[in-house]
Structure 1
Amino acid sequence: MSKSNFIIWMQETSTVSSQSIKKYAFAIDSVSRELDSYGLSNEKELFDIESEEMIRKIMEHPDFIDKNKRGNNMYGAALNHLLRWKQELEVREIEDEYAYEMREFHQYLLADSDNGIRMEEAPKTTPKKIIVHGREVWFRNPRYAREALERAGYLCELDETHQLFVSKFTEENYVEAHHLIPIQFQNKYTNSLDTHANIVSICPMCHRKIHYGTFEEIQNMIKRLFHSRKARLNSSGIDLTIDELYDYYKQ
């Protein structure tokens, strides 16, 4: 992320004038120079901050509110544009990673001739990282995904009536593998999140909703899946509370 990319995005996606775009970029630079006063001394500039929650906390800080009033709301508008940009980038990254994962999974299904399930309820070492579209991501083993779907009977674990069409790869009801604890948080765990216990079978409609729905809409989905998997997660050396899982999906 960089200021130049932000400016290009604003020019391509908004009706804001060039002069206003320059003002917003200046405003973000100005707030970046004051990160110490917001308790963010470890961050160099706003473009380095990935957490939307952290940016929102800046906007709620009394010093920022005062600065924004004195600036006729220019700073608040600038940070709202910054949040929209970061959200759009995150969606693109998820889509790229999702498309890559599905492609690798389908290639695995075409090549795999072993239909036996080898479920492993035990801690695994953390997976390696690979590069997808210039970005580092954690490797997912497509065999684990297939075995998790097969164990679930190729049904949606949130609603078994969600049967949309038959997959040409499995000749079963089409479902997708989803890591209940998002694998992007692997660095918080000493054992692998790419494990059978953490992979759930859900239909594409539920899969999209759990990625893109508001937290209020998906909270019950997360809660149901968590309670159905908690014992298995513990057996795999993965320990967390429902509140910790909620926090992952709020980010």
Structure 2
Amino acid sequence: MTNKQKQDFIYWFELKRLSTSTIAKYSNQAHNRIFKELKISFYELKVLTDLQDLLIKVKRLEKQMPNDPKRMYSSAVSNYIKYKIHSETPDNHHQDLDYLIDVEETLARTTSLPTHIVTPRDSTGLISGTTNQFSRNKRVGAHAIQLANYTCQIDSNHRLFISRKTKKNYVEAHHLIPIAYQAMFEHSIDTIENIVSLCSSCHRMVHFGLDTSRIELLEQLYNRFKNQLRLVGTPIKFKDLLELYGIDQTLY
């Protein structure tokens, strides 16, 4: 299993057109140093929460190193998490639809927004019975939409139709940092600070539009939310966000 995972990881890097030396640095050198220090091989970890725990330990290990490793070791684990997500995470279309329906049902039952909302910093857990699908709290999504006053945060003039459940402008909750990548973060990304309110058209464009259009929308949202993401312990660079959406960064 370990050898196959390693070879598949290397092949994933090759598809990304990384240099041979860079691939060796992450797949061999970093892995071997992590195993030496922590006695853990990331090639043997099958569950994303186990990889998440390893990433936290490796980041702490880097801080103790006398020489600056330039995040080589945590980057190796982060890249392995991305590889696992890209290669093993199933199509979540039905799960996404269920989440949107649950958020709508929650909004329909909610009469008022609490004056102060505290979302947990602890990472969200996996959906019961899965090894790579993180859960989402419908109440957090509903609160984010209420805070946005049921408007699209790309353009408040986007009013496609009135929801028959809420009797308000229909919008959808979208995780700016995709929830699939929760394992790359120590703190929860299922938070109000990471959830944007989008009309269904903008939501679909972010997922399925041309990369040039997606970059434009994501940059607008990123500039609006980046400071609050940093404040809740989930900072991310824009180029890294684009990578999570599978966008060709040469277009940016």
Task: Provide the TM-score with structure 2 as the length reference.
Answer: 0.61
Distance 1:237 1:155 in 2: 26
Match of 2:157 in 1: 161
Match of 1:98 in 2: 96
Q: 3-state SS of the aligned residue for 1:232?
A: helix
For residue 150 of structure 1, report the CA deviation from its aligned partner: 1.0
Q: 1:123 to 1:109 in 2, by over 3 A?
A: closer
Q: 1:56 to 1:124 in 2, by over 3 A?
A: closer
For residue 154 of structure 1, report the CA deviation from its aligned partner: 0.7
Residues 121 and 232 in structure 1, CA contact (< 8 A), matched pair in contact too: no
Q: 3-state SS of the aligned residue for 1:211?
A: helix
Match of 1:55 in 2: 15
CA RMSD of aligned residues (A): 3.2
Q: 1:118 to 1:164 in 2, by over 3 A?
A: same
Deviations 1:102-160 (A, max 9, x none): 232234335x345223554676100111158x774211111111111111111111111
Structure 1 segments of 4+ aligned residues over 6 angstroms from their partners? none
Q: 3-state SS of the aligned residue for 2:5?
A: coil
Q: In structure 2, list runs of 5 or more residues that go unmatched.
A: 21-85, 248-252
Letter aligned with residue 147 of structure 1: H
Distance 1:153 1:131 in 2: 32
Determine which structure has more spread, i.e. the larger CA radius of gyration: 1
Q: 1:50 to 1:188 in 2, by over 3 A?
A: farther
Letter aligned with residue 57 of structure 1: R
Distance 1:163 1:199 in 2: 19
Confirm whether residue 219 of structure 1 aligns to residue 181 of structure 2: no
Match of 2:5 in 1: 43
Residues 154 and 173 in structure 1, CA contact (< 8 A), matched pair in contact too: yes
Letter aligned with residue 164 of structure 1: L
Confirm whether residue 229 of structure 1 aligns to residue 225 of structure 2: yes
Deviations 1:72-104 (A, max 9, x none): xxxxxxxxxxxxxxx9x98x7132221121232
Letter aligned with residue 114 of structure 2: I
Match of 1:124 in 2: 121
Match of 1:145 in 2: 141
Aligned length: 181
For residue 216 of structure 1, report the CA deviation from its aligned partner: 1.9
For residue 247 of structure 1, report the CA deviation from its aligned partner: 1.3
Match of 1:181 among 156, 177, 193: 177
Task: Provide the TM-score with structure 1 as the length reference.
Answer: 0.61
| Structure 1, 113-122 or 155-164: larger mean CA deviation | 113-122
Letter aligned with residue 104 of structure 2: H
Residues 165 and 174 in structure 1, CA contact (< 8 A), matched pair in contact too: yes
Q: 3-state SS of the aligned residue for 1:93?
A: coil
| Structure 1, 214-223 or 174-183: larger mean CA deviation | 214-223
Distance 1:163 1:218 in 2: 20
Letter aligned with residue 178 of structure 1: H
Residues 124 and 191 in structure 1, CA contact (< 8 A), matched pair in contact too: yes
For residue 42 of structure 1, report the CA deviation from its aligned partner: 5.9
Residues 158 and 221 in structure 1, CA contact (< 8 A), matched pair in contact too: yes
Confirm whether residue 210 of structure 1 aligns to residue 206 of structure 2: yes
Match of 2:60 in 1: none
Deviations 1:175-233 (A, max 9, x none): 00000011111111000000001000010011011011232221011111011111111
| Structure 1, 175-184 or 137-146: larger mean CA deviation | 137-146
Identity value in percent:
27
Match of 1:26 in 2: none
Distance 2:211 2:116 in 1: 31
